[in-house]
Structure 1
Amino acid sequence: MTVPLEYRALADRFEAIRAEVDRTPDALVPRSIMRGIAAGLSRAPSLRRNDPMKSHQQRSLWGRLADEAAARPEQVGFVLLGEGGRAELAERLGVPHRTLTARLDGWRRTRPRLVVPYSGRRKAGGAPLVAVQLPAVSDLVLWAATVRAVPDAVDGRPPHPLLVADAAERLAMLDTRGPATDGWPDLDDAVEDLGAAIVRKGGEPPARRLETGRRR
């Protein structure tokens, strides 16, 4: 399988974080966090105002692509494809080949880019699609891994995965980078602040997975 150099670089960063704390990928960034990232991308308030996302069909396809990109933390936001290339991805997403081509072309032209398609070496039939990256997923997976790798200053344990998932979902909705934190209280504050930012953008914050009971 041909993989982009960009994937190798990000995957190596994730592996370095994982190896440092000697945890499996799923223990470092559990499924709850990955689901939060995918859900946030599908619920971003900006989607309905974005030309390539104004129809329900396009937003539905975007949600399925986000699920694929967030399937495994070690994929760091990439959907890696075999020899089937674009046809393989179209089948996985349940759309015609031409529809997928048109959508990817529109999404890669946004600023910032929603997707980054990668092609392999050109052959007789053209350059095959070998991978699609969702940069927002890449950023949030690495952020979550970094946050979960640092023992909490309060209790000496990694921040609870559900608290990280709450933050990651809201960050994905806002398409913004994760904040630096010194402990779970900082993360708890960030969840509340991000929820307020979502409201200001005309969206509705998702229900929290973890209620800490803490007051600021």
Structure 2
Amino acid sequence: MPFPAKYAGTCKVCSRPIAVGEPITSASSGKGYVHEGCAQGALDLGLGERSTPTAAAPAAPATVDGDVLRVWTDGACSGNPGPGGWAWATQDGRQGSGGAAHTTNQRMEIQAASEAVRTLTQRPILVVSDSTYVVNCFRNRWWQGWLAKGWVNASKKPVANRDLWEPLIAEYQRGGIDFTWVKGHSGDPMNDLVDQLAVEAGRAQR
């Protein structure tokens, strides 16, 4: 059951700050806490059963080669669930954003990446995200397990956000797409930009 956070911290799924008083749940592994809206994501990524260093902060180099187009993506949600927004942007000035009236942070993170790779057809493309939920799905190949098990997670429950994962995974399977993690709110100007765009898109949904 969710309970209010007594101390500030960082969500083990979305890597975003946990504010004092915000509804959270603890991972069943006993290692860390997650936003109430991120709890299902923790199970889908296996964090509910075990915790690994890569689950907390994926830092492996991307594998795409050649003239790589980098796109930064981000999702935001007020209340989680609540009104939210997604955004993507490239260093040459291209960008996109949108939102939903009732959503979660994870859904907006997935949609941001999906919208980016569907809109930007250049390959190879590197998606730069501060969401371990999105990055670990591909860097740690969680998606392969989901497909092999018929879209159920390690707890034998349906994988959350399948409607958004499926088109993104389909794009990934076509090749030329990779993901890399960036620490959120760490001074990366492009990460800061897409964060701002996603927050603004979410506000427009209120």
* TM-score, length-scaled by structure 2: 0.28
Largest Rg, 1 or 2 = 1
Structure with the higher fraction of residues in strand conformation: 2
Relative to total residues, which structure has the larger helix share, 1 or 2?
1
